[in-house]
Structure 1
Amino acid sequence: MSKYALLALDMDGTLLDDDHVVSQETANAIAEAQQAGVTVMLSTGRAIQNALPYAEELGLNGPLIVVNGSEIWRNPQELYMRYLLDRDAVQQMLNLSEKYDTWFWAYSTKALYNREKWSGEVDQEDWLKFGYYNEDVDVLSSILAELQAIGGLELTNSALTNIEINPAGISKASGIRTVCELLGIEMSQVVAVGDSLNDLAVIQQAGLGVAMGNAQDAVKQAADVVVASNNEHGVAEVIRRFIL
């Protein structure tokens, strides 16, 4: 029997290959882990509606962490906890997108908005996450400095070209700690796998923190082990080497 009880998987760049597909080898390994009694869950920056099809495809009926921990679902049908961004901060983030003429996206509890699809009223909706995309590192650095000055925000990324913003203290790590409480297990019994800064805290806190071969350098340095890339079935490697 595995000493690990929970396998928490990031999606983009981890579970999914570059075509956003779960390989058959990875799907088979996940099924084997579940048959061995290990809870397998998604831990993603995506919203619930973007994560659910993959959970259903893999037969995952337990907890989910979505929007980087701003929502914790007890199971695919039942929301357990939700954490919201301050609306004044969201308005400031929107203003920054205009100041720096940059692409942005924002998850509310109602919809996903972006620069080209913005019909949201900041004061009328509940906001889960905000993000910026820009290939100019200097622009991203300037935005990051202004976000730090706003305060009360958790700042990470899911790629070197973006910034992701959640309420302060809210992350995949905080979400998975809550899931551990729900399941009656310890963080030492968790295997967490990811590739970006929004995975960093949970990789540091899990019993086994795993970086994908395609992970950002900071994530690889923090991880206990590095496995193959998302295009080379790295998640299947994790399961077969450390769980089964």
Structure 2
Amino acid sequence: MKCKLLVLDVDGTLLNNAKEISKRTLVTLLKVQQTGIRIVLASGRPTHGLIPLAKQLELDHYDGFIIAYNGSQIISAKDGKVIFERHIDNELLPYLEKKAKKNNFGIFTYKDNRIITTAPEDEHIRHEAFINQMEVIHEKEFCAAIDFSPTQCVLVSDDKEALTDLEQHWKRRLNGTLDVFRSEDYFLEVVPCGIDKANSLATLLDILKIARNEIIAIGDGVCDVTMIQQAGTGIAMGNAQDSVKACADMITGSNEEDGVADAVEKMILTDIRPSTVSLDILNARSQHTLMGNLGIQYTYVSDGRVEATMPVDHRTRQPFGVLHGGASLALAETVAGMGSMLMCQPDDIVVGMQVSGNHISSAHEGDTVRAVATIIHQGRSSHVWNVDIFTSTNKLVSSVRVINSLMKKR
């Protein structure tokens, strides 16, 4: 069954060891969203630390989602709306703080763009603040400072054995009240009972009316196991722990080898069938036409998808050096028209009926923009196309809707 949702863990999966999305992975994930597949970022990170990654991937434009705090919160990237959230009962916080003090552990939680903690100098907490771009707030009395119901609390220590002992004790003592797990050797995370990535993903699937066999999930850590098992296709990264690889349907490359891009290209993008029409022939036919005069070059054609580039130069710019909106619309109508011509019957002709565009940002002279046309309605007498136009750095310039009519030759 066709994939409708791609679920990605973040650290060790989406991000390389430099905590960056590689260029290849970024381009691949933008391309897969342009086919209509939505992306979900599922992470133990706080929401504040995931929003910049969601923006880089343009999840807001493609109606993606964020599962934060290992499942305690689900956010719509489109409008920032919280569509699911669970909290720790504040009455349990004194007990958590007491155990932290007794074992000489640090304890912290998240609030908006802040980390509230009893151990502000702890290197792991400071690193957590750094990668999530958050401020560290020191509070000697943890519970007294928490005037809200947290989605997650974390105990921190370099004493791995002591953390393991407390983890096992709490799994017996807090069963049915809170859930605990280790996301890192030095972190013991505490979340509301029944919260993990898989359960929150199941909630999202119910909301979206998407079946389990219509999702692909990729991860590397123990916290990803249930999510990988739940997915129609579960994929483990090459750098994943052996226990994660054992439960996966397939194993891809590591996060340093663009493993996410490899998996997406093999599992999703290879299903987009290239057209048998030669790009050289298409581009040759455009010479001495509007398309040729604007420098438009077809770069990819398939059943329901066409891509082309166009330079921002003296032919397509405005007097002050930015791409002319009319040139963007001409590019959009060109790729959508070609897409319909490749899909129509031999006795059909394609007539452009309507073009409407939203110009979102600018492209400057010297750049080359890329148009991606995907069909969103294929009827017997009409085709509706969505055309997104990007700069060379994958910034969205325009989003255009094109309607073509199919008419029989007379």
* TM-score w.r.t. length of structure 1: 0.91
The reply to whether residue 106 of structure 1 matches residue 122 of structure 2 is: no
The reply to whether residue 150 of structure 1 matches residue 174 of structure 2 is: yes
The reply to whether residue 36 of structure 1 matches residue 4 of structure 2 is: no
Shift of 1:88: 2.8
> What is the DSSP-based 3-state SS (H/G/I as helix, E as strand, rest coil) of the residue aligned with 1:31?
helix
Give 2:154's aligned residue: 131
What is the alpha-carbon distance in structure 2 between the residues aligned to residue 48 and residue 32 of structure 1? Answer: 24
Shift of 1:179: 1.6
Shift of 1:107: 2.4
What is the alpha-carbon distance in structure 1 between the residues aligned to residue 226 and residue 216 of structure 2? Answer: 13
* Cα deviation 1:11-47 (Å, max 9, x = unaligned): 1111111111000011011011111211112111111
Give 1:211's aligned residue: 236
Percent identity at matched positions?
A: 30
What is the alpha-carbon distance in structure 2 between the residues aligned to residue 141 and residue 216 of structure 1? Answer: 18
2:253 maps to which of 208, 211, 228: 228
Between Structure 1 and Structure 2, how many residues are aligned? Answer: 243
* Cα deviation 1:28-69 (Å, max 9, x = unaligned): 110111112111121111111110001001111222111111
What is the alpha-carbon distance in structure 1 between the residues aligned to residue 138 and residue 86 of structure 2? Answer: 22
* Cα deviation 1:137-187 (Å, max 9, x = unaligned): 311112202322133222223223322221111111122112212222112
The reply to whether residue 97 of structure 1 matches residue 119 of structure 2 is: no
* Cα deviation 1:161-217 (Å, max 9, x = unaligned): 322221111111122112212222112211111111221211111111111112222
CA RMSD of aligned residues (A): 1.9
Structure ID, larger Rg: 2
> What is the DSSP-based 3-state SS (H/G/I as helix, E as strand, rest coil) of the residue aligned with 1:156?
strand
- From the two aligned structures, give the one with the greater helix fraction: 1
* Cα pair 2:54 2:77 within 8 Å, conserved: no
* Cα pair 1:173 1:202 within 8 Å, conserved: yes
> What is the DSSP-based 3-state SS (H/G/I as helix, E as strand, rest coil) of the residue aligned with 1:124?
coil
Amino acid of the residue matched to residue 104 of structure 2?
D
> What is the DSSP-based 3-state SS (H/G/I as helix, E as strand, rest coil) of the residue aligned with 2:39?
strand
* Cα pair 1:157 1:196 within 8 Å, conserved: no
Shift of 1:91: 2.3
Give 2:402's aligned residue: none
Give 2:14's aligned residue: 15
Give 1:71's aligned residue: 73
Shift of 1:134: 3.0
> What is the DSSP-based 3-state SS (H/G/I as helix, E as strand, rest coil) of the residue aligned with 2:158?
coil
Amino acid of the residue matched to residue 198 of structure 2?
A
Give 2:218's aligned residue: 193
Consecutive unaligned residues in structure 2, runs of 5 or more: 121-136, 270-410
What is the alpha-carbon distance in structure 1 between the residues aligned to residue 103 and residue 240 of structure 2? Answer: 28
